[in-house]
């Protein structure tokens, strides 16, 4: 039987954990700095409100010419972006107009463009209109969807690997009630979500749920890096990307569970083995499956990115980044976090033993 990776492979992943964690921190900080410098993400119409128009021209077209053609409609200052390859002559026009009837506005846009470019040279691919209140509600719901997915995943992990279903269930109930109360008090959705995440991590630490803690930190890591890449490249952030992030969370979790399962199996068989060595061995044992799964997924996602057209391109790009980062985090972030937790636990015990010995001596 042919093996992509030899069964007895022994790469020292654990030994490289500090380098990996440092690289991750740098990537996250750069991403967050980019969001701060740009004044937020490049929100799509779904979240920001307004109107988006996708237009295809049959012939070479310049952005300035489109801007001049639309000046009579009061959208000359709109953002106009070329999408696809230059030969596609396809453009995305974003405007803050929100109050007009969508069909009437679409007709006006088409008429003004046809006056300049000719009737047979312009096709309106799509037109979408979202009000400011709807956009705000969607932003709120998107963040909560990401948070709740992380929370319930963490509960599942703690129940499956630590058999603490009741504890994790109580934590979830407390967090959901707290979230609803803060929501009712009108706390901003960004502060609400960030605060809830921090409180979740603190509770998992207090109640000693290392597997859930490691998994949720790894998933937050994946989301932050993917969002950071979108900010650095100034790509549009919309509902499609939120769907991609939720998909990434599920995919990354699958990889992490495979490694965690092997760690648990090895812990049962070899209790006396050094914990670092055991985790490194577990990662190596699942490496072939991880690379095969990620590789085949990337082939499909890359095909979507290159052949799927402009509408699905950003979604496929988010998945590509997420699959790579998710595979990396399962190997270099989630599992080494268990070592960090164990080290901190050992240090805490040794401090307590010293205190007891000191008190007895005195």
Residues 162-205 pLDDT 10s: 888 888 888 888 888 888 887 787 777 778 888 888 888 888 88
Q: Check if the beta carbon of residue 241 is closer than 8 Å to that of residue 230.
A: yes
Q: Give residue 134's pLDDT.
A: 66
Q: Check if the beta carbon of residue 316 is closer than 8 Å to that of residue 308.
A: yes
Longest dimension (CA), the chain: 96
Report which listed range, 8-22, 105-119, 212-226, 277-291, is most confident.
212-226
| Strand partners of residue 92 | 54, 81
Q: Do domains 14-39+134-352 and 50-130 have the same CATH topology?
A: no
pLDDT of 75 higher than 90: no
Q: Give residue 322's pLDDT.
A: 92
The least confident of 163-167, 213-217, 241-245 is: 163-167
The full length of the chain comes to 362
Which of these, 234, 178, 188, lies nearest to 39 by C-alpha position? Answer: 234
Q: Check if the beta carbon of residue 213 is closer than 8 Å to that of residue 205.
A: yes
CATH class of 14-39+134-352: mainly alpha
In order of 5, 74, 153, 316, 319, the CA distances from 294 in angstroms are 14, 48, 20, 14, 11
Residue 56 banded pLDDT, cuts 50, 70, 90: confident
Give the C-alpha separation, 183 to 159, whole Å. 28
Q: Give residue 362's pLDDT.
A: 62
Q: Give residue 361's pLDDT.
A: 67
Q: Is the pTM of this model over 0.85?
A: no
CATH number of 50-130: 3.30.70.3400
Domain ranges of the chain: 14-39+134-352, 50-130
């Amino acid at each position: 039987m042919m093996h992509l990776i030899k069964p007895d492979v022994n790469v020292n992943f654990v030994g490289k954990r500090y380098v990996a964690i440092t690289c991750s921190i740098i990537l996250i900080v750069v991403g967050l700095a980019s969001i701060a410098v740009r004044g937020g993400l490049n929100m799509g119409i779904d979240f920001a409100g307004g109107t988006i128009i996708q237009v295809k021209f049959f012939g070479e077209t310049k952005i300035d010419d489109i801007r001049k053609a639309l000046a009579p409609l009061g959208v000359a200052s709109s953002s106009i972006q070329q999408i696809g390859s230059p030969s596609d002559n396809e453009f995305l026009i974003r405007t803050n107009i929100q109050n007009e009837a969508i069909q009437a506005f679409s007709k006006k846009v088409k008429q003004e463009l046809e006056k300049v470019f000719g009737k047979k040279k312009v096709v309106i691919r799509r037109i979408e209109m979202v009000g400011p209140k709807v956009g705000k509600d969607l932003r709120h719901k998107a963040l909560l969807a990401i948070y709740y997915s992380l929370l319930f995943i963490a509960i599942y992990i703690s129940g499956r690997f630590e058999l603490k279903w009741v504890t994790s269930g109580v934590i979830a109930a407390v967090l959901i009630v707290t979230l609803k109360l803060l929501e009712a008090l009108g706390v901003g959705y960004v502060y609400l979500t960030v605060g809830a995440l921090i409180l979740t991590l603190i509770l998992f630490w207090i109640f000693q749920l290392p597997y859930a803690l490691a998994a949720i930190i790894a998933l937050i890591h994946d989301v932050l890096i993917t969002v950071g890449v979108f900010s650095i490249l100034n790509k549009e952030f919309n509902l499609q990307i939120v769907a991609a992030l939720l998909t990434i969370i599920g995919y990354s979790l699958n990889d992490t569970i495979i490694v965690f399962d092997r760690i648990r199996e090895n812990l049962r068989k070899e209790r006396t083995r050094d914990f670092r060595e055991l985790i490194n061995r577990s990662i190596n044992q699942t490496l072939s499956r991880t690379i095969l799964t990620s590789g085949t997924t990337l082939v499909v996602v890359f095909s979507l990115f290159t052949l799927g057209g402009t509408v699905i391109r950003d979604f496929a790009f988010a998945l590509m980044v997420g699959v790579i980062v998710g595979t990396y985090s399962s190997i270099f972030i989630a599992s080494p976090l268990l070592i960090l937790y164990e080290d901190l636990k050992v240090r805490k015990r040794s401090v307590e033993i010293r205190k007891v010995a000191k008190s007895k001596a005195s």
